Amino acid sequence: MLKNEPFEKLPVPYRPVQERGHHPPRLSLGFVIRKELAEFRRVALREGLASARDINHRMCFSELVGLVLGHLNELCGLPPKEGMRAGWVHSREGIAVIELETNYDWWIPEEKLEEAIAVIKEHFNLPKDAKPKWYLENDVDQREPDEYLLPSKPHIPYDGAVNFLTAFLT
């Protein structure tokens, strides 16, 4: 799974199906922010959310992230703690992600999604053609379940000498 991520579209096996007890690892849809401390600091200063002194001496990183994302959510008309969120992921692209949703939870209304994406791109200087991707969340067990590692069963042709059920159960 890790060698194939991030995913541009959520693969079907990673979509949970509660009715069938199918609970794949949690993935986040969003944008990885490289140099996360510097980038969140830059946005906070540019938007006048805090002084450099406050950021450098009084704020921890999580407070800075909360301040910036609260502001971006407000710009989009989203509740401060119910819109865009920060997450940590396992990825070759980075570790900090601004989440729009997960494969389990959707908290940004569909009509606000494009606006949220545009605000993230603008404030974090992402390319205009950047698209959110699916990243494996940091808090998942790194020992991947067998169902995500095994290839699908090979086709076993039926020949008259082999019981039909036996061919597909082995």
- Distance (Å, whole) CA 10 – CA 134: 6
Residue 168 covered by a domain:
no
For residue 168, the SS3 value is helix
**Across the chain, what does the average pLDDT equal?**
81
Number of domains in the chain: 1
Q: How confident is the model at residue 140 (pLDDT cuts 50, 70, 90)?
A: low
The answer, yes or no, to whether residue 160 has pLDDT greater than 60, is no
Residue 165 covered by a domain:
no
Residue 76 covered by a domain:
yes
Residue 150 covered by a domain:
no
- Reported as a single tens digit per residue, the pLDDT across 71-89 is 999 999 998 777 999 988 8
Percent of the chain residues topping a pLDDT of 70: 79
**Least confident span in 4-8, 66-70, 115-119:** 4-8
132 and 93 in contact (C-beta within 8 Å)? no
Beta bridge partners of 27: 136
81 and 70 in contact (C-beta within 8 Å)? yes
Q: Which domain holds residue 19?
A: 2-141
The token pair that represents 125 in the structure block: 């200087």
Look-up of token digits 């042709």: 157
The token pair that represents 116 in the structure block: 């949220």
Q: Which amino acid is at 74?
A: E
Report the residue count for the chain: 170
Q: What is the pLDDT of residue 2?
A: 59
Residue 24 covered by a domain:
yes
The answer, yes or no, to whether residue 163 has pLDDT greater than 50, is no
Q: How far apart are the first and last CA of the chain?
A: 25
- Reported as a single tens digit per residue, the pLDDT across 3-40 is 667 888 888 888 888 788 888 888 899 999 989 989 99
Any alpha helices (H) in 1-153, and if so which ranges?
Answer: 36-46, 52-57, 61-75, 110-123
Q: What is the mean pLDDT of residues 138-153?
A: 51
139 and 95 in contact (C-beta within 8 Å)? no
97 and 144 in contact (C-beta within 8 Å)? no
- Reported as a single tens digit per residue, the pLDDT across 91-102 is 888 888 999 999
- What's the predicted TM-score (pTM) here? 0.76
The token pair that represents 113 in the structure block: 């999604």
Residue 151 covered by a domain:
no
Q: What is the pLDDT of residue 152?
A: 35
Residue 164 covered by a domain:
no
Q: What is the mean pLDDT of residues 155-167?
A: 43
Q: What is the pLDDT of residue 134?
A: 92
* 164 or 20, which is more confident: 20
Residue 156 covered by a domain:
no
- Distance (Å, whole) CA 124 – CA 107: 21
For residue 65, the SS3 value is helix
